Chain A
Amino acid sequence: MLKITFIQHDGETIETEVEPGMSIMQAAIENLVEGIEGECGGSGSCATCHCYLSEQWSDKVTQPDNNESQMLEMVNDTTAFSRLSCQVKITKEHNGLSVTLPESQY
């Protein structure tokens, strides 16, 4: 099991333990972390699963594909570390990863 930390927009921190192989979105949903809508169920079609990776982790995960980059273009409040959480797969190298959630997904 890997430790993944979610930080809510209001600063609340939630420590979770997840199996490698799932996406950040699935990790949030299975651990009852609020703040990710995930309307399309993880197919990269809705952009309601926006999250921010911390700077130290952003280059240690697979980089966004063309679809994800395009979907992120019009999302509110994006930064250089914005990702669609359904597209970031957690692998065994990611123990300690931390993810911040935006104020709103709409």
Chain B
Amino acid sequence: MKRCIIVGGGHAGAEAAFELRKKGWQGEIVLISAESYLPYHRPPISKTYLTGETPLKRLYIKPAAAYEKANICIKLTTKVVDIKPLEHTVTLDSGELLTYDKLILCTGCSSRKLTVPGAELDNVFSIRTLDDIEHIARTLGSNQPPKHIVMIGGGYIGLETAASFKKLGHHVTILERSSRILNRIAAEPIAAHITKLHQAQGVNIFTDKSVTALTGEHAVQAVYCSEGESFKADIVVIGVGAEPNTCLANYAGLQTKQGRIEVNQQGKTSVPDIYAAGDCTIGIEPFSGQNTTLESVPSAVQQAKMVAATICEVPQPQIQVPWFWSDIFDCKLQIAGLYQGYDTVIERVYNCDSKSYWYVKSHKIIAVTCINCPSDFQAGKKILKENITISLSELKNVVNPIIPNTSPVPA
């Protein structure tokens, strides 16, 4: 019987396994994951899981019974340590050798380490896995007095995590190296809005702060920045981005670019019978035509679907508009499309808490970012997907619906 091995049990790995079955793969499916949990939803770990609102059993993408039903063999707490493409084998950390007919790499990313003195002290954490959150939760304890938490990095994960800590009643400070937060995913006005939101809730945000050292006896006690400034810290959480796990790909001799596995539009790598999906890849994003990595759940899921379709030799899934969300305090941030390369931004303001920013390139909408405005997000996605032309000069005017002849403005 043929065997497809999937390395990595994150969003891409889990989706690939179930999609293979759905699309008609008759052979064995073996899903190998280094983590000790069944594949789970990663986004809530910095949000409602950290705050205790979502219990563990609600995080799993599918229950154990679903793997049984689909006849997917899942090996947890198991790492693939080598790939031999000519022999078509993978080596597990137990020493076991498995042969494959098809191999899918869904190894995702790991948190980027902070390379400053003191980074190895106790109570310095990253945020990528459930285990990371468990360690943080254990250190915070329950019903303990509030702690001083310093969050290094003002990306969306840092901001979400800071908001969750604040909800739990701690003193939270965010240190960002560049001149503003959310530099990578959102334009200036959004960053300004999110900054205000944090400040209103009592989170301190300092920009242009380059961390030079962490100090403390065994556990961290303070964070030092380049101008000698220091911040008291019982706990430090590092959110300075993620690095693709491409060690295996390098062993197998796969072509990489910017440290990620290069894939074509069918999810094939440069080596026969090896495919890749999710955060560890780089390739042409079908909607925008940009050569990029999106590091988002919808993109990981879509890429996994593409790979499954390729392996099962069935038509590719419909192209999706790239999108993303983040929940910070009570603010829902939703983004559709890719805003890079815009020449104009049009603002549509319902009130100070609810607005959307439309990115235009050569008179065409290429993306929209929405703050507490799901209706604009949905309209934006539809406009992008169906290539609908709307009047840009009327877009500002919230009295009119965005797409003519659709339901009116949000309440």
A residues contacting B by CB (< 8 A) are: 22, 26, 29-30, 32, 39-47, 66-67, 69-71, 73-75, 106
User: At the interface, yes or no: B41 with Cβ under 8 Å from chain A?
Assistant: yes
Q: What's the least CB distance linking A71 to chain B, in Å?
A: 5
Q: What's the least CB distance linking A103 to chain B, in Å?
A: 14
**Known contacts A41-B297, A43-B44, A46-B325, then 5 further A-B pairs from the complex at CB < 8 Å, ordered by chain A residue:** A43-B325, A46-B298, A66-B411, A69-B411, A73-B406
Q: A39 with B44: in contact, given A46-B325, A74-B381 (CB under 8 Å)?
A: no
CA distance A9 to B344 in the complex (A): 43
Chain A residues with CB under 8 A of B43: 40-41, 43
CA distance A74 to B402 in the complex (A): 12
CA distance A13 to B411 in the complex (A): 37
Chain A residues with CB under 8 A of B334: 45
User: At the interface, yes or no: B379 with Cβ under 8 Å from chain A?
Assistant: yes
Contact residues of B between 311 and 335, Cβ < 8 Å to A: 318, 320, 323, 325, 327, 332, 334
Chain A residues with CB under 8 A of B332: 44-45, 67
User: At the interface, yes or no: B216 with Cβ under 8 Å from chain A?
Assistant: no
User: At the interface, yes or no: B259 with Cβ under 8 Å from chain A?
Assistant: no
Q: What's the least CB distance linking A17 to chain B, in Å?
A: 14
Q: What's the least CB distance linking B298 to chain A, in Å?
A: 6
CB <8 Å contact, B62 and A29: yes
CA distance A9 to B378 in the complex (A): 24
CA distance A66 to B332 in the complex (A): 12
Chain A residues with CB under 8 A of B378: 47, 70-71, 73-75
Task: List the A residue with the shortest CB-CB distance to B333.
Answer: A45
Interface segment among B63-71, B75-83, B218-226: the answer is: B63-71
Contact residues of B between 30 and 68, Cβ < 8 Å to A: 41, 43-44, 47-48, 58-59, 61-63, 65-66
Q: What's the least CB distance linking A102 to chain B, in Å?
A: 15
Q: Select which of B58, B69, B323 is within 8 A of A42 by beta carbon.
A: B58
Q: What's the least CB distance linking A69 to chain B, in Å?
A: 8
Q: A29 with B318: in contact, given A43-B47, A45-B325, A70-B373 (CB under 8 Å)?
A: no
Chain B residues with CB under 8 A of A44: 332, 374
Contact residues of B between 355 and 378, Cβ < 8 Å to A: 373-375, 377-378
Q: Select which of A30, A41, A67 is within 8 A of B374 by beta carbon.
A: A67
CB <8 Å contact, B407 and A73: yes
CB <8 Å contact, B297 and A40: yes
Q: What's the least CB distance linking A42 to chain B, in Å?
A: 7
User: At the interface, yes or no: B167 with Cβ under 8 Å from chain A?
Assistant: no
CA distance A3 to B206 in the complex (A): 53
Q: Select which of A30, A45, A71, A74 is within 8 A of B63 by beta carbon.
A: A30
CB <8 Å contact, A70 and B41: no
Q: A39 with B410: in contact, given A29-B63, A45-B332, A70-B374 (CB under 8 Å)?
A: no
Q: What's the least CB distance linking B308 to chain A, in Å?
A: 15
Among A29, A43, A44, A47: residue with most chain B CB under 10 A = A43
CB <8 Å contact, A66 and B410: yes
Task: List the A residue with the shortest CB-CB distance to B42.
Answer: A41
Task: List the B residue with the shortest CB-CB distance to A41.
Answer: B41
CB <8 Å contact, B411 and A39: no
Among A29, A70, A75, A106: residue with most chain B CB under 10 A = A70
A-B contact pairs, 21 of them (CB 8 A): A22-B58, A29-B66, A30-B63, A39-B297, A41-B59, A43-B44, A43-B47, A44-B374, A45-B325, A45-B334, A45-B374, A46-B298, A47-B378, A66-B411, A70-B410, A71-B377, A71-B378, A73-B378, A73-B407, A106-B318, A106-B320
Chain B residues with CB under 8 A of A30: 63
CB <8 Å contact, B379 and A74: yes
